[in-house]
Amino acid sequence: MIRINIKSVTLIVITGKRILLKDVTFTMKEHNIYTILGKNGEGKSTLLKSVTGFLDENTFSTTGTVVFNGVDLLSLSQKALVELRKSKIQYVFQDPVNSFDPLKKLGYYFKLYDFDKEEIKREFNHFNLGEPEKIFALYPYEVSGGMAQRIAVILALLKKPKLLLLDEPTSGIDNETIYLVKERLKKFVLQNDSIALIITQDLSFAENFTDFIAYLEDGNLSEFVTYNQFFIEEAEPIKKFLHAYKQLTNEPAISR
């Protein structure tokens, strides 16, 4: 279980300070997938990074607590936080290609850990990536954004984290791959007693997949509710978001 009570996240610049997030409070439990929806520029990535101390302390000030398995992540030293991330927390970034070192072949990242070779093959097969050894011989800039996204997801899953964070996981991948990601994540949280937190503006990705959903706007996060409950919320920002989504996609936001 993880209890998040972020009182504020403030951006510190030469001209002054600006509050980006305020009074963000929610609890996540094992075996569930949580999705935070929001338009671009609303602070979704900032929220995701603030949960595990990924924000630059020279640029951002975060107040509050994030209690994960009885430990407040925001009170840990940087060294202890890095060790905890390695063993219990994984973050899949929005730009997977640039999250890899361009001077290292992709196989380098798999050799850092004692992964089971058969398990690697199963994950590669599931995501239609073919033989792992062929991918291992490539540099990050030699694969497409969609392939890099799948590889980043596989690396995160192989480490079997208790908390998995994904930033816009549908960027650069087609509908078939989106289905594979959803299918694999759903099984993963159930089989490994894990929690997944996803941020996205893609409502269709959350459909028939996420367990709980919330909406972020102007630094404020709505309450997490079930997917169906989300569509009967009376809050005006949610209504505006759903209306905009329908206009963009020319289709209903949910299949009844």
Question: What SS3 class is residue 187?
Answer: helix
Secondary structure (DSSP) of 80-125:
HHHHHHHHHEEEE-S-HHHHS-TTS-THHHHHTTT--HHHHHHHHH
Range with the poorest average pLDDT among 84-88, 153-157, 223-227, 248-252: 248-252
Question: Is residue 204 domain-resident?
Answer: yes
Give yes or no for a contact between 173 and 17, defined as CB atoms under 8 angstroms apart. Answer: no
DSSP code of residue 140:
G
Residue 255 neighbours by CB distance under 10 Å: 8
Give the mean model confidence (pLDDT) for residues 128-152.
Answer: 94
Lowest mean pLDDT among 86-100, 123-137, 230-244: 230-244
pLDDT tens column, 30-52: 999 999 988 888 889 999 999 98
Share of the chain above pLDDT 70, in %: 90
Q: Is 223 inside any structural domain? A: yes
How confident is the model over 226-232, as a mean pLDDT?
Answer: 78
In whole angstroms, give the CA distance from residue 129 to residue 177.
11
pLDDT range class, residue 256, cuts 50, 70, 90: very low
Mean per-residue pLDDT over the chain, rounded:
88
| Residue-range definition of the domain harbouring residue 22 | 2-94+165-249
Q: Which residues contact 175 (CB under 8 A, 6 or more apart)?
A: none
Reported pTM = 0.89
Q: Which residues contact 240 (CB under 8 A, 6 or more apart)?
A: none
- Asked, for residue 216, whether it belongs to a domain, the answer is yes
List, for residues 73-124, the tens digit of each pLDDT value: 999 988 998 888 888 999 998 888 888 999 999 999 999 999 999 999 999 9
Q: Which CATH number does the domain housing residue 245 bear?
A: 3.40.50.300
**In 126-163, which positions are buried (b, 16+ CB within 10 angstroms) versus exposed (e)?**
bbebeebeebbeeebeebeeebbbbbbbbbbbbebbbb
| 113 within domain boundaries | no
Is residue 152 in a domain? no
Would 169 be classed as within a structural domain?
yes
Total number of domains in the chain: 1
Q: Strands 16-28 and 2-13: what pairing?
A: antiparallel
Given a cut of 80, is residue 148 above it in pLDDT?
Answer: yes
In a domain, 66, yes or no: yes
Do the domain assignments include residue 14? yes
* Whole-Å CA distances, 161 to 20, 87, 141, 185, 239: 28, 7, 27, 12, 35
Distance CA 254, CA 136 (A): 39
